[in-house]
Amino acid sequence: MKVSNRSHIQPFHAMEVLREANNLELKGKNIWHLETGEPVTGAPEKVRVAAQKYLDSGRIGYTDALGIPDLRKRISLHYLEYYDLNIPEDRIIVTTGSSGGLLLSLLSAFDVGDKVVVTEPGYPAYSNMLKALGLLPIYCSTEADSRYQPTVEQLESLNAKPDGMIIASPANPTGSILKDKEIKTLVDWCNINKVRIIADEVYHRVTYGCRAETILKSTEEAIIINGFSKYYAMTGWRLGWIVIPEKFLKPIERLAQNLFISAPALSQASAIYAFDSSQELDENLKRYERNKDILEASLKRSGFGNSNTAQGAFYLYVDVSPFTHSSQDFCKRMLHEAGVAATPGIDFDRVRGQNYVRFSYAGHTNDIECAAESIEKWIKVRFK
């Protein structure tokens, strides 16, 4: 019996590297993990305390498919507090991670054969999920002079009219942020051309010296994806949310009921307290910025090419063409010889990604320092 064609998508190379790195650790090799975008601190203390109380209370069961009312209310309040926006809780749906939110968004907004713009470099799950759902990704190759964000000029030059577009700000892997004026320009173009925007805002609040603005200030027709994994450091809790136009409520509710039943009850009840943990979480941002400066300076000393100057998220997307034109081979050798795990650029850009590698600096500062030192020593020996 067959295996479906839709499942024959590209691997998520960051997770492939993680698996290989974990296998090496099981064999006793010391590995510095710079491959995944995962904060190492874990959930805020208030969240952990709430989770323990909820566990002690007894039964943990299903919730409403849209999410527990108290969490939806708290997310609504978050938009008022942080963005000065009044978003009714009826437009907020709690999801099983932001990945679950992306799946619900794509299924509710598009039909098989519809065309959706994704940028390169960009998060690989966008195009992979589109293909698995029978949608057609239209690749938009962005450039450094636009901070790797799409422009109207690029959209006008596409060889097919899109039905939708996925944008990310801050973006993975570049950390670039769309300016307010750029958001409005993209929204205007999409409105004129009847293109549905899905905006990935999961890295909001993970920014350095600037602020990422939500697309909700420019349109009510976009679907916004966010979650608790990045700023709130709750990756394993698998909890996210989406903000939707009102007409999407019933379709997404039916999809959520059938696909997930509900997001994890324990995570939902505990996540309410994440919004009251900003002081603790902002300390993480200070560490990320220190880590970024340490890693960026070290890679420059080692002879790496230009990297993005990250405005947000916790990645450096670095040019490795001085050493190789195969980012996969480079990452494999660096893992086995230097003990440093990083993600090959082909995860984010099918062609140009051969000359790039993404390093995550979401770890402990000591680990970043050790990884940077190991890379410097390895480069001197391997590429002398």
Tally the domains of the chain. 2
Statement to judge: residues 18 and 149 lie in one domain: no
- pLDDT single digits (tens) 266-285: 999 999 999 999 999 999 99
Whether residue 305 is predicted with pLDDT greater than 90 in this model: the reply is: no
220 close to 232: Cβ distance less than 8 angstroms: no
Q: What confidence tens digit (pLDDT) does each residue in 102-113 have?
A: 999 999 999 999
Please compute the mean of the pLDDT values over residues 171-189 and round it to a whole number.
Answer: 97
Longest dimension (CA), the chain: 62
Asked if the structure places residue 216 within a domain, the reply is yes
**Percentage of the chain lying above the pLDDT 90 cut:** 91
Mean pLDDT along residues 186-206: 98
Final residue in a domain of this structure, among 223, 252, 276: 276
DSSP 144-193: GGGTT---HHHHHT-SS--SEEEEESS-TTT-----HHHHHHHHHHHHHH
Listed residues 218, 253, 276: the one ending a domain = 276
Question: Residues 87, 163: one domain?
Answer: yes
Q: Is the pLDDT of residue 260 over 90?
A: yes
Cα torsion for 59, 62, 67, 68, to the nearest 10°?
-30
Q: What is the pLDDT of residue 169?
A: 98
- Across the chain, mean pLDDT equals 96
User: Domain for residue 50, yes or no?
Assistant: no
Q: Which residues contact 381 (CB under 8 A, 6 or more apart)?
A: none
User: Tens of pLDDT along 36-46?
Assistant: 989 999 999 99
Structural domain span for residue 336: 5-43+278-382
pLDDT band of 365, cuts 50, 70, 90: very high
Sole residue written with tokens 């136009």 = 245
pLDDT digits (tens, 9 = 90+) for 318-341: 999 999 999 999 999 999 999 999
pLDDT at 10 over 90: no
State residue 362's pLDDT score. Answer: 97
- Does 89 lie in the same domain as 211? yes
pLDDT tens profile 218-229? 999 999 999 999
The average pLDDT across 185-193 equals 98
Q: Are residues 204 and 263 in the same domain?
A: yes
The model's pTM is 0.95
pLDDT above 90 for 59: no
CATH assignment of the domain containing 35: 3.90.1150.10
Q: Are residues 177 and 272 in the same domain?
A: yes
Percent of the chain with pLDDT over 70: 99
Region 114-125 average pLDDT: 97
Structural Rg of the chain based on CA atoms: 21
157 shares its domain with 95: yes
**Is the residue at 170 inside a domain?**
yes
User: Does residue 76 register a pLDDT over 90?
Assistant: yes
Long-range contacts of 331-335 (CB under 8 A, 24+ apart): 331/17, 331/357, 332/20, 333/382, 334/375, 334/378, 335/17, 335/20, 335/21, 335/24, 335/31
Residue 35 is predicted with a pLDDT of 95
Residue 141, pLDDT above cutoff 90: yes
On whether both 114 and 232 belong to a single domain, the answer is yes
Residues 246 and 334 in one domain: no
For residue 380, name the pLDDT band (cuts at 50, 70, 90).
very high
